[in-house]
């Protein structure tokens, strides 16, 4: 006990104790002032509620649409099978029994001719597919997704004939080429 009594109280401790009292005194004063302002707040809310509501904006004007009566009872039904072309069976057709070749799984514009092997009628084209594999192509082979049959292979291009639907149930032959890409 003697040790505590003989030790003088430092100025720092006094200063800290004084600041703590000031902070606590400020907190109690702020709490009492909010309770004092409560009637003023209630008066303000009552005053705002008593004011008339502002007028609503006018409704937008609805646009009038012109009515249309569809009267096609006397016309041909576009979904009937009577419209199919009677000559559709006489033209070229893809061979559904033919086994598909590897290069027929890729679109024609994704295939790149990268070179040739051989000369004359024995020329074989080298074609790189999107899977980064190089394939050998000879006349009579098929490539592209439209039943493209290779008709000739030259040093700078591959010529082929594709079969595309004509929209009326038949097929059209369309020439196409795959050129040697420039290095």
pTM of the predicted model as reported, rounded to 2 decimal places: 0.51
Q: Could you report the per-residue pLDDT of 116-162, keeping only the tens digit for each?
A: 998 877 889 999 999 999 999 999 999 999 999 999 999 899 999 99
Residue 165: φ, ψ to 5°: -65, 145
Low-confidence stretches of the chain (pLDDT beneath 50): 1
- What is the CA 137 to chain-centroid distance, rounded? 36
Angle at 123 between CA 118 and CA 125, to 5 degrees: 105
Residues contacting 68, CB < 8 A, separation 6+: none
Q: Domains in the chain, please, with CATH? A: 102-179 (2.30.30.830)
Q: Which two tokens stand for residue 41?
A: 């707040």
């Amino acid at each position: 006990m003697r040790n505590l009594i003989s030790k003088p109280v430092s100025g720092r401790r006094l200063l800290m104790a004084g600041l703590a009292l000031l902070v606590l005194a400020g907190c109690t004063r702020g709490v009492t002032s909010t309770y004092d302002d409560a009637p003023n707040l209630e008066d303000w809310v009552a005053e705002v509620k008593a004011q008339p509501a502002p007028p609503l904006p006018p409704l937008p004007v609805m646009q009038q649409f012109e009515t249309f009566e569809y009267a096609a009872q006397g016309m041909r039904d576009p979904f009937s099978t009577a419209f199919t072309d009677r000559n559709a069976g006489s033209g070229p057709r893809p061979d559904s029994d033919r086994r598909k070749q590897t290069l027929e799984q890729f679109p024609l514009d994704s295939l790149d001719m990268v070179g040739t092997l051989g000369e004359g009628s024995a020329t074989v084209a080298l074609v790189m597919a999107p899977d980064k594999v190089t394939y050998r192509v000879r006349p009579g082979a098929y490539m592209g997704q439209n039943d493209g049959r290779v008709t000739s292979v030259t040093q700078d291009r591959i010529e082929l004939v594709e079969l595309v639907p004509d929209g009326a149930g038949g097929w059209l032959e369309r020439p196409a080429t795959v050129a040697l890409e420039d290095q």
